[in-house]
Amino acid sequence: KEVAEILLPLRLSPDEIVDLYARSINKSDGTYFFAFRQGAERCLGILAEKPDDPVLNLFQGTSLPSSGVKRCDLSVENAEQLRRLFDFTRPRLMGLETSYGLGDRLGLANPAHLRAIRATGIKAILAQQSIRELERTQRTPQEVVDVATWAVFQEGYRDGYGADGDHLKTVDDIDVVVPAGFRMFTFDPGDHVVNEADHLPLDELRRRVDSLPWDTLKTDLDSCLSRYADKKIRLSDEFTLEPNSSEVVRGLAKYGFVLAHVVEMYTHLQENHSNIPKELELSVDETDAVTTPFEHYLVTSELKRLGIELTSLAPRFVGDFYKGIDFRGDIELFKAE
């Protein structure tokens, strides 16, 4: 039923009828743009009121004299031209709107993702891939963004979508995704988490904390203790944190090098890509050690003190998450956390 509603027959020649994606029809200065499917192949169609319309020269393709339509492949070059013409085909910042990461690992599912999310009020982070996933699937960042571009055009999705360079571990990772149009950057400093901090004695934790790069963090242990230890941190009417000095030291031992690495990543992003809009997520969800509520607060507060604003943070929750079975662990503890 869904397919029947969005596909219409379109005659390109006396002998050729294709499936037109009805939601894709857009007009720019008298020229119509639309997506259509011929067998398993999807194409961009352009129909100009005047055959000498200069916009036709911007797109690579083949003119079909019998219909006046120019048939164009879904190429890198044509995707770039489409983004220049239609704002809604370009990734944008999501900010604090409710959003959902819909990473299309193979480049096939984005139209289905958009049909699933339409009219829910949830924004789509449509182009979402990590460097690891790109390497495993042998795709490029540009391909991921282009697939999202064609999907929103085909589906007529105008609510805005995001492009997230996911699980970026190095400054080189940042430089790989920026040229493709990614504007959300998920830093993954998981390699710098001291997982064993949860079980170390206090004297060992203090020794670890003494070795932190305090110059990078622009603070010291005494200052951190004065900010957090034995303070009532009221987050809502129902929830207050009251960390003691041991919890502060443990949190710093566990995440201090994380903070320093994020400073390095953020500094590189600002200094080398200052001309682009950007938003940040911090992800420590693939580590062994669980993030406590106070450690969540400690990390975000210290980054804010350093001038680094996060849009979101992915902590390591209690339990384990899996495809298909979702969650394994203490569900009541997970709810409380």
Catalytic residue among 146, 173, 281, 295: 281
What's CA 80's distance to the chain center, in Å? 20
Record the tokens describing residue 151, joined without a space: 């999907």
Record the tokens describing residue 54, joined without a space: 């200069």
Closest CA to 216 of 300, 307, 154: 307
Burial class (CB in 10 A: 0-12, 13-18, 19+), 305: middle
CA 167 to CA 216: how far, in whole Å?
22
Q: For the chain, first and last CA: distance in Å? A: 42
β-strand pairing of 326-328 with 320-322: antiparallel
The residue count of the chain comes to: 337
Catalytic-residue membership of 166: yes
Sign for the pseudo-dihedral over CA of 139, 180, 183, 82: negative
Catalytic residue among 166, 173, 188, 279: 166
Active site residues: 166, 281
